[in-house]
Structure 1
Amino acid sequence: MLIDATAVPADRGGVGRYIDGLVPALDAIGCDLAIACQRSDAERYERLAPSATVIPGPAAVSRRSARLAWEQTGLPLVAQQVNAKVIHAPHYTAPLRSSCPVVVTVHDATWFTEPAHYERAKGTFFRSAIRTSLKRAARVLVPSKATRDELIRLLDADPTRLDVAYHGVDAELFHQPDDAERARVRSRLGLVGPSCPGGYVAFLGAQEPRKNVPNLIRGWVSACERRADPPALVIAGGSGHDSEIDQAIAEVPARLRLLRPGYLRFADLPGFLGGADVVAYPSHGEGFGLPVLEAMACGAAVLTTPRLSLPEVGGDAVAYTEEDAARIGTDLAALLDDQPRRTALGAAAHERAAQFTWASSAEAHVAAYARAVSP
């Protein structure tokens, strides 16, 4: 089994969390595993999967164009060298020719349902890649039933070749924080002292149009502008291409506090998520919703939308809102005013998150690999 991890970005974003969670789980159940990766990640995968064969790719694969070219030529050669029975391409694209079956992960269908939320060239590329993978891959893995159903509805995908494998959550990294972890994060964010009597509302994710950050900002303003001790809004994560965010920030009243700390250290994420009054994630749609699951694992009260896969992840353990700013404001205010409900949601979220394990995900992946070899 050869996994192509060369697509993992330096910031360990969504695809990075996916592969970094899946690889050790596959190794733990005895999967005969080889991992192709960027040279900077070789030691990491040797540590995560001690029994695996780790093959660093050429230095050039750190550049996207070179990686895509190497995927077509170099990856099939690596598969032959390690005598792989299956290639797993975990991020939409895959080699068009290979001596062994190819399994591709398609993470979501919002490239088709929300095309305006993506840069034009990027959207065109990934829509083409998804269509190609649906036609040519031996099996296609998807992280939710909603994504499977959307691919069938929108692209007439063959349901007999689609396999659902939910993501898991790293329960050691994403855990209910103690008081010291919460205090450390508040101190690093500057949310301490008499000038910061309120708590904070947290967002963690890429600041791209699909995440609906401008409406979150406007909804937070509506919910908090008349409060005596309004909570801050902390928008953490990488910068994206949502040009409306700066405009929404410009409209924030001076008495409210909004922070954009950028990327947070992994060690600070439990304190950040579990220490928030509310973790708000009013996305227009997700293929899975890993940020929601990670916040749930930290015992956070989560406010999200009932779009696509998010109810599969959140169930009854999160609060739901709509995508417009007015409704976000109303529902956020209701949560901020109801401490008992937030406490109950946090407890239910932590319990539900425990059902999503990388061990279970690994078993579903192995089943898909087996189907690829023996259809």
Structure 2
Amino acid sequence: MLVDATAVPADRGGVGRYVDELLPALQTEGADLVVVCQAHDVAHYQRLLPGVELLAAPAGIGRRPARLAWEQVGLPLLARRARADVLHCPHYTMPLAGGLPVVTTLHDATFFTHPELHLAVKRRFFTTWTRVSLTRAARCITPSAATRQELVRVAGADPARVDVAHLGVDAARFHVPSDAERAAVREHLGLPGPYVGFLGTLEPRKNVPALIRAWSALTDPPALVLAGGRGWDAEVDRAAAEVPDTHRLLRPGYLPLEMLAGFLGEATVVAYPSLGEGFGLPVLEAMASGAPVLTTRLLSLPEVGGDAVAYTEPDAPAITVALRDLLADPVRRAELAAAGRARAASFDWRACARAHLTAYAAAAAA
């Protein structure tokens, strides 16, 4: 089994988190792994995967066009030299003439269902490659049943060739934070009082402007902390400019991975009013960290949150009411925090790895 980790970004977000969690779980499950990665990631994967054979891709593939060109020619050659029986491409794209079965992960259907929430160039790229992989890959993997269902509906996917592998949560990393972890987050943020937390890239589908306006409509609320990359949603800046002087809005950018449990678990409420997710990992990680979570019922989010989170419609007035109710009800918040921890425990990276191994076996057999 050869896994192509060359698409992992430098900040290790998104596909990076998925690959970095999946590979050790596959190793633990006994998979016979070979991993190809970019040269600057070799030391990282040596620490993460002791004993696994690592192959370094050419140094010149750091830019996406070069990586995609190498994927079509160099990756199949490398896979054959490694005598791989299956190739896993974990981020939409795949070699068109690889000479061996390919499994491709399709993380999200919102490029089809919510095209207005994506940059046009990204929308064209990912819809095209999703259709290619659904047609050419031996198997495709999605992180939720909702994503598979949407791909069947909008992209003509054959459900018999698409496998669901729910993502997991690392309980050693995401847990009810200690006093020291809480203090470290507060010192980093320079914030002694309570706060509503958000974690994610500030892009249109995260619905952050509606969250800002909903929170702004509250009387004397806790601070609002928007953690994550800036993304490309210009409406966030416009909404932030309208925040009353009586309110405190913080945008600290990326937080270190080791600080996330403290950030999520210390929040009075974690608000994630997304307009659509392929899975919704921040919701799961907040639940595991003991936070009461407010999210929406759109696409995969109820599949993750179940009855252990509070729900709202995605418009600002509805979010205002839902936030106000949660902030005023400590008993309800405690109930959600306990239910969230219990539900999060059922999402395990080893179970995710086993679902991948089933898909690999089916691809090899086909």
Category of TM-score, reference length = shorter chain: over 0.9
Which position in structure 1 is the counterpart of 2:253?
262
Deviations 1:256-292 (A, max 9, x none): 0000000111111111000000111000010111111
Q: For 1:280, which of 268, 271, 277 is the aligned residue?
A: 271
- Looking at structure 2, the residues matched to 269 and 160 of structure 1 have their Cα atoms a distance apart, in angstroms, of 37
Q: Which amino acid aligns with 1:8?
A: V
Q: Is the 8 A contact 1:27 1:50 kept in 2?
A: no
Separation of aligned partners in 1, 2:319 and 2:40: 41
Q: Which residue of 2 aligns with 1:25?
A: 25
Q: Which amino acid aligns with 1:216?
A: L
1:213-292 alignment runs, 5 A limit: 213-223=208-218, 226-227=219-220, 230-292=221-283
Q: 1:311-370: per-residue Cα shift (whole Å, max 9, x none)?
A: 110001111011100101110110000111111111111111111111000000000000
| Counterpart position of 2:10 | 10
Contact 1:27–1:51 under 8 Å retained in 2: no
Q: Write the letter of the residue equivalent to 2:342.
A: E
User: Which residue, out of 338, 342, 345, partners 2:329?
Assistant: 338
Structure 2 match to 1:327: 318
Measure the CA separation in 1 of the matches of 2:55 and 2:230: 31
Provide the secondary structure at the position in 2 that maps to 1:286: coil
1:199 maps to which of 167, 190, 194: 194
* Partner secondary structure for residue 54 of structure 1: strand
1:298 is matched with which residue: 289, 301, 306? 289
Q: 2-side partners of 1:352 and 1:41: how far apart?
A: 33
Alignment partner of 1:209 out of 194, 204, 208: 204
Counterpart amino acid of 2:9? Answer: P
TM-score under structure 1 length normalisation: 0.96
Structure 1 residue aligned with 2:345: 354
- Residue 118 of structure 1: how far off its partner (Å): 0.6
The answer as to 2:305 corresponding to 1:314 is yes
User: Which segments of 5 or more consecutive residues in structure 1 lack a partner in the other structure?
Assistant: 193-197
AA matched with 1:311: P
Match of 1:118 in 2: 118
Structure 1 residue 185 displacement after superposition? 0.6
**Cα RMSD after superposing both structures:** 0.9
Give, in angstroms, the shift of residue 51 of structure 1. Answer: 2.8
Contact 1:293 1:353 in 2 (8 A): yes
Matched, 1:144 2:144: yes
- Distance across 2 between alignment mates of 1:321 and 1:117: 20
Residues in 1 aligned to 2:187 and 2:48: alpha-carbon distance in whole angstroms? 32
The count of residues paired between Structure 1 and Structure 2 equals: 366
Q: 8 Å contact 1:14–1:290 — kept in the other structure? A: no
Q: TM-score, normalised by structure 2?
A: 0.99
Q: Give the deviation of 1:176 after TM superposition.
A: 0.8
| Aligned-residue offset at 1:11 | 1.1
Deviation, structure 1 residue 32 = 0.6
Q: What is the one-letter code of the residue matched to 1:77?
A: L
Percentage of identical aligned residues:
61
1:52 aligns with 2:52: yes
Q: Match of 1:31, as an amino acid?
A: A
Tell me the CA shift for residue 18 of structure 1. Answer: 0.5
CA distance in 1, matches of 2:9, 2:361: 28
> Any residues of structure 2 matched to 1:13-92 within 5 Å, and which?
13-92=13-92
Please state whether the residue corresponding to 2:166 is helix, strand or coil: coil
Do 1:273 and 1:298's aligned partners in 2 also have CA atoms closer than 8 Å? yes
- Give the residue type in structure 1 aligned to 2:150: E
Query: What is the alpha-carbon distance in structure 2 between the residues aligned to residue 357 and residue 313 of structure 1?
Result: 12
Matches of 2:161 and 2:99, distance apart in 1:
19
User: Could you say what secondary structure the match of 1:333 adopts?
Assistant: helix
Contact 1:169–1:297 under 8 Å retained in 2: yes
CA deviations over 1:110-157 (Å, ceiling 9, x no partner): 000110111111111111000100000000001110011101111221
Aligned to 2:230, what secondary structure does the other structure show? coil
